[in-house]
Amino acid sequence: MHHLPLLDIFDTIRQLGWGGFFELLRNGIVLGSVYALIALGYTMVYGILKLLNFAHGDIYMVGAFLGYGVLSVLGGPLAPTVALVPLIILMFVGAMLGAGTLGVVVERFAYRPLRNAPRIAPLISALGVSFFLANSVLLLTQGQRYNYSAYQLGGDAETGLPGPLVEPAFSVLGRPVTVVQVLVVSTSIFLMVALTLLVSRTRLGKAMRATAFDREAANMMGINTDRVIASTFFIGSVLAGAAGVMFGLYIGETYYFMGFLAGLKAFTAAVVGGIGSIPGAMVGGLLIGLTESFAAGYVGGQWSDIVVFGILILFMLVRPNGLLGTRAIQKV
């Protein structure tokens, strides 16, 4: 290659054709639904505390490890002692509860004492938590990558035949959509619907919206805002834990540094959608997933991150409040 790969883009589009287009679309949607789940945690915390919770990506990473932990307690990926469906459910439940608890502890320990501190203090504290979590996992795993082996999961250990997770569920234009991809997207949709119902229909959801709107006023109306904030962290972290297991099953491996970049992308998603807006985070996650997938397919994998970040910087300059965000009025 003697010129910028950006110039090859039209050749690549022609070569890949509609089948290739569909594959990229499919990958983008799967990736996007993982990002969207993480982005929801970012956006909920920002909405309620105006805090950029940099530790959220690392909670997602811990969730992925917890899912792996459940898997290895139940016999490991190659010889699980329970059937596939309860195994996956247990992995999700374990990771979600563990991550949720971690989120509450982080809030209680690192953010709550700083509730009335200058704005920079919780932000630095969040960087500290992120650093602490990532390096703790590095210490305990010694930088090793743990493999979910989604390929073998539920398959025949003796013959080495692949398990049902990588079987095609259906195909479009001759390109397969595997069971694990369907699983990721449908779980993600289910959780997002559940979250939307929780926020719009329940008392807790109402309290969360009130706290996000005006914390002091909510406090005076008899809402225990500390508990509402803790619940927000719990719910956001539960979603991140689920996203961690999804990523583990889909990509196949977890490592200590995966939280940072995924967190950053999810954060991009939250910003593009309009930070603080729940539907915005879902749309944003999908957009970032699709952008990354198409950039990787048409421009080249090594450029995909730059394309994503470049788009974000331009986007922020044109529309800082995101697609679905509302323009904040600065109070004096």
Which residues contact another protein by CB under 8 A?
1-5, 50, 52, 105, 109-110, 113-125, 127-133, 135-136, 138-140, 142, 216, 260, 264, 267-268, 271, 301-303, 305-306, 309-310, 312-313, 316-317, 320, 330, 332
CB nearer to another protein: give 95 or 150.
95
Phi-psi region of 174 (alpha: psi -120 to 50; beta: other; left: phi over 0): left
CB nearer to another protein: give 142 or 159.
142
CB nearer to another protein: give 3 or 203.
3
Specify the DSSP class assigned to residue 295.
I
Contact 295, 307 (CB under 8 A): yes
Specify the DSSP class assigned to residue 85.
H
Q: Are strands 168-172 and 175-178 parallel, antiparallel or unpaired?
A: antiparallel
Half-sphere exposure of 177 (CA within 13 A, CB side): 19
Alpha-carbon span 71 to 91, nearest angstrom: 6
Shortest separation between residue 312's beta carbon and another protein, angstroms: 5
Alpha-carbon span 301 to 113, nearest angstrom: 42
Nearest to 63 by CA among 266, 265, 254: 254
CB nearer to another protein: give 60 or 267.
267
Burial of 55: CB neighbours in 10 Å, binned 0-12, 13-18, 19+: buried
CB nearer to another protein: give 118 or 160.
118
Q: What is the dihedral of CA 80, 81, 83, 88, to 10 degrees?
A: -60
CB nearer to another protein: give 22 or 131.
131
